[in-house]
Structure 1
Amino acid sequence: MPCACFAGLSRNVVLLAVASLFTDISTEMLYPVLPVFLTQMLGASGSILGLMDGCAQATQNIAQGLSGTLSDRVRKRKTIALVGYLLAAFSKPLMGLSTGWMDLFGARMLDRLGTGTRSAPRDALIASSVGEKDRGRAFGFEGAGDNAGAFFGPLLAAFLLSLSQIGIRSIFYLALIPGLLAFCMVLFVKENQEAVATRSRLGAGPEQFPVIYWKYLLVTALFGIGGSSNAFLILRTRDAGVSLATTILIYSAFNLVAALVSYPAGYLSDQWGRRALLLVSFIVFLIAYLGFAVSRNIMLTAGLFVVYGVYQGIARSVGKALAADLVPTDLRATGIGWYSATTGLLQLVASVIAGELWDRVGHAAVFYNGAIFAVTGIIGLLILLPKGTGNGQALSVRRYRG
């Protein structure tokens, strides 16, 4: 049975999943140390930290949309993805070499530019490397690699910092290694030129997207405006009295759950339909956010954070698979890119709103706000996306044009 579950995954999908594992190890190694490095070693204020995170998120989101469109037009998905992997890898040691916050700011923007540049072309490569009936499990497998990297990265950083001869700057230098390993994995990917070039047109663009795709982006926006940064989950966990070290372990456990859920979720979306799985993820999000709003119990808060990983694992893999389902083959990278950009930009807006609520209204207000928009997203999903949307069975975008 396990072999049957993994049937349909191509060599390309495996290589890209391993690449995602390495890239997230590289990125998440810096998660526990970047704020400390910026504020304590480079002397920047908390407002500079917020500015940097906001600009980094915006840079990544814009790059995702633009790189998807570019890769569809020039038909060089692998090449553009490789550029992104290389930029992100070499930005890590550049961060470690920073002597002031402006240096770090520039290196951080380069990192997010690279991450945004590679994402949509990579996802288009995944979509074109499997049959339509296996698309969900392919994105689920890649998502499992990504979330597994997010689990191992902080643990690796914590272990390295426990060694007396390893300082904070060394973490940035060592993060180059998994970044380059990811680049090497993608070198072995074989681009399916026929899948890219079948209907490509120089003038093709977002105006060619079917109506159902725009409805899906609207649902994504309605839900996403309440989905703030996971940093607020971390702060809420600290509110409950959890130590910093334990909070990092809980965060790692959250990523582990997301990794374990991602592939089964993609597999089930191929069998049961993407819409049904997305609905499950929205409901899990709603339950978790309501729980965070009312809970002050350490064990319950920790449990909610880990359960929230179920939402993360489903949404990441199934959301992209559905975006790929709803656009023509020649616009696949563009469609996935603008879906990812919408998700990221709305998270940026949601995080700004959450920050204001956190400071001016109350900590619980962040999560009540997220729950309200989760309900809005659930209603939008049920009304705007017909039952059977993304049924995982030889989907034809012609069905969705009107």
Structure 2
Amino acid sequence: MLYPILPIFLTQTLHASGSVVGLVDGIAQATQNIVQGFSGWLSDRLQKRKPIALVGYFLAAIAKPLIGLATAWPMVLGARFGDRLGAGFRSAPRAALVASSVAEEHRGKAFGLEGIGDNLGAFLGPLLAVLLLVSLNVDIRWIFYLALIPGLLAFLMVLLVREQQLAVSAKATLDVNLRRFPKAYWTYLLVTALFGIGNSSNAFLILQTKDIGASLEATILIYAGFNLVAALISYPAGLLSDRFGRKGVLLASFTIFLIAYVGFAVIRNIYLIGLLFAFYGLYQGIFRSVGKAFASDFVPQQLRASSIGWYSSTVGLLELMASLVAGQLWDRVSHEAVFVYGAIFAVVGCVGLLALIPWQTNRHRASTAS
């Protein structure tokens, strides 16, 4: 409900600049991902997933209405920080629950199934926002207030989850966990970082869509279509990565990102931009499910939450850097420069993935290592 209207709320209601949009969303997404490193370690140390996830869901739910109360962009930044802090706190333990709930050979499909749910919510939420804004003439601030309801419902649903006790115990200190990660895992994080340098917030794609002439309603609907495509591809992508290996499927997502960013730099037709945004959803669905599954392939079971957490931290840190750069490019150079910048590092990421990551990983051996 919130994501497609947040950059428009910042720029049109609060009259913030593109740099502020990059700062707010960059810090928010970085917070979500960086906190996963800590929550993943804490989950591994305590051998508890569900209680930590519950805390995160509750914090994210109660922070969302605070955005609607904002009268200046720093207030949005504070509320959005709290929202994404909760989201980050829940994500790694939730991912570890997913990874441990299925057999090794089905892990990609499991993350794909999780991706379907997450992206379907991101598809239905914007449709609900359009219904409220257009059909019922609800003020834009009330969208943030009403977001409390699905947030609390998600919290209640997690209460129904049954957590299995792990058969192994994790080490108690963060430093030991970091040293236990194999070299191949750190190489994968390096490739992720190379690609992520240019992977700025999707808020800039939303602003570009609005900037070329799309109405608020059309922009939200286009974003909903993007998430629908991401939802539909998530499970097939996970299935393909289980069957044929993660590297090729992940490389396809990098390539889709590259094509989409080049398109956003040169296309000015609203209909073509809408199609391109939907095409970009393929990247979102593949990267989200396969990227995390790949990160968990390199480590033993007792470090799985930490591996996904530090992977997500890497993604978040680089997205913050990319969004700050993109904000400056948006305000000081041109809107097109944001997407040229992203495309360049997509090429770098593709080269790194091809050169540094083997086509086959030892994920079956990693799962049974002590």
Q: TM-score, normalised by structure 1?
A: 0.84
Change (3 A) 1:309 1:165: closer
Q: Match of 1:397?
A: 366
Gaps of 5+ in 1: 1-28
The Cα shift of 1:379 comes to: 1.2
Question: Is 1:262 aligned to 2:241, yes or no?
Answer: no
Change (3 A) 1:277 1:102: closer
The Cα shift of 1:292 comes to: 2.0
3-state SS of the aligned residue for 2:348? helix
| Residues 158-167 or 338-347, more deviating | 158-167
Gaps of 5+ in 2: none
Change (3 A) 1:34 1:398: closer
Alignment of 1:212-223 (within 5 A): 212-223=184-195
Aligned residue type for 1:255: N
Counterpart among 250, 253, 277 of residue 281 in structure 1: 253
Aligned residue type for 2:282: V
Kept after mapping to 2: 8 A contact 1:154/1:252: yes
Q: Match of 1:143?
A: 115
The Cα shift of 1:164 comes to: 4.6
3-state SS of the aligned residue for 1:192? coil
Counterpart CA distance in 2 for 1:246 and 1:232 is 16
The Cα shift of 1:284 comes to: 1.1
Question: Is 1:200 aligned to 2:170, yes or no?
Answer: yes
Alignment of 1:186-197 (within 5 A): 186-195=158-167
Aligned residue type for 2:365: S
Q: Match of 1:338?
A: 310
Change (3 A) 1:294 1:85: same
The Cα shift of 1:227 comes to: 1.1
Q: Which string of whole-angstrom CA distances, capped at 9 and with x for unpartnered residues, describes residues 152-175 of structure 1?
A: 111101212235574334323321
The Cα shift of 1:356 comes to: 2.2
- Aligned residue pairs total 367
Counterpart among 50, 53, 64 of residue 81 in structure 1: 53
Q: Which string of whole-angstrom CA distances, capped at 9 and with x for unpartnered residues, describes residues 14-37 of structure 1?
A: xxxxxxxxxxxxxxx123444565
Structure ranking higher on relative contact order (CA contacts 8 Å, 6+ apart): 2
Question: Is 1:69 aligned to 2:38, yes or no?
Answer: no
Counterpart among 67, 88, 93 of residue 116 in structure 1: 88
Counterpart CA distance in 2 for 1:365 and 1:165 is 36
The Cα shift of 1:234 comes to: 2.1
Counterpart CA distance in 1 for 2:83 and 2:255 is 33
Alignment of 1:341-380 (within 5 A): 341-380=313-352
Alignment of 1:242-253 (within 5 A): 242-253=214-225
The Cα shift of 1:186 comes to: 1.2
Counterpart CA distance in 1 for 2:264 and 2:46 is 46
CA root-mean-square deviation? 2.4
Q: Which string of whole-angstrom CA distances, capped at 9 and with x for unpartnered residues, describes residues 354-376 of structure 1?
A: 22223333332222222221111
Kept after mapping to 1: 8 A contact 2:115/2:235: yes
Aligned residue type for 1:210: P
The Cα shift of 1:318 comes to: 0.3
Change (3 A) 1:294 1:108: closer
Q: Match of 1:7?
A: none
Kept after mapping to 2: 8 A contact 1:134/1:270: yes
Kept after mapping to 2: 8 A contact 1:212/1:400: no
Taking only the aligned residue pairs, the percentage that are identical comes to 64
Change (3 A) 1:318 1:252: same
Q: Match of 1:153?
A: 125
Kept after mapping to 1: 8 A contact 2:30/2:319: no
Kept after mapping to 2: 8 A contact 1:211/1:400: no
Question: Is 1:292 aligned to 2:261, yes or no?
Answer: no
3-state SS of the aligned residue for 2:166? helix
Q: Match of 2:357?
A: 385
Counterpart CA distance in 1 for 2:132 and 2:212 is 28
Counterpart CA distance in 1 for 2:9 and 2:98 is 36
Alignment of 1:48-59 (within 5 A): 50-59=22-31
Change (3 A) 1:360 1:40: closer
Q: Which string of whole-angstrom CA distances, capped at 9 and with x for unpartnered residues, describes residues 132-182 of structure 1?
A: 100000000101111111111111012122355743343233212211121
Question: Is 1:308 aligned to 2:308, yes or no?
Answer: no
Kept after mapping to 2: 8 A contact 1:240/1:301: no
